[in-house]
Structure 1
């Protein structure tokens, strides 16, 4: 990890973790030489750590409706959604509200 890299705590809850190898919490290190928005972070997640059923997580370059996104316990809608720029030590939580039946 270099001085400019970003450490992000990534969490999944309510079934979202099943799409990411059943890991509920992980720490990721992002290259700090580029700007990380939630939009390119979600793309990175898709390309790097999403293990199955991408259609249950991604829709049109964003998270699928029914997945709540919190950054540091704040709804991402209040932070600019996909345009939010990640900061070192941010905690990003994805909560699925999708239920089978």
Structure 2
């Protein structure tokens, strides 16, 4: 079984409003059989951090279009998106690029 992972999750661009206005979260992901990847992280975030209107953050098993995801300041598209395996002390930033009008 893998050891727990400590990661920092941040929300910006209005996405933090879905998380009680809290922009930065230091979280410890519990140990599990396989490695943690972004797909697992999104499920954990939805269960443990997301306070309202999950449809504004999650679509299917990914983030909805219009949310930019950066892992350690790199675009997640360069790192494998949902399949990126999280490392201890990673920083994951979700920025909403959608603005109401």
Q: Which residue of 1 aligns with 2:78?
A: 78
TM-score, scaled to structure 1? 0.94
* CA distance, structure 2, for counterparts of residue 12 and residue 66 of structure 1: 13
Counterpart of 2:38 in structure 1 is: 38
Structure 1: stretches of 5+ with no match in the other structure = none
2:96 corresponds to 1:99 = no
Q: By how many angstroms is 1:91 displaced?
A: 0.2
Name the residue aligned to 1:53.
53
Unpaired runs of at least 5, structure 2 = none
TM, length-normalised to structure 2: 0.94
The alignment's C-alpha RMSD in Å is 1.2
Q: How far is the alpha carbon of 1:5 from its aligned partner?
A: 1.5
Greater shift, 55-64 or 30-39, is seen at 30-39
**Any idea what SS the aligned residue of 1:46 has?**
helix
Determine the structure 2 residue equivalent to 1:65.
Answer: 65
Cα distance, 1:48 vs. partner? Answer: 1.1
Do residues 21 (structure 1) and 20 (structure 2) align?
A: yes
Partners of 1:33 and 1:45 lie apart in 2 by 16
How many aligned residue pairs are there? 99
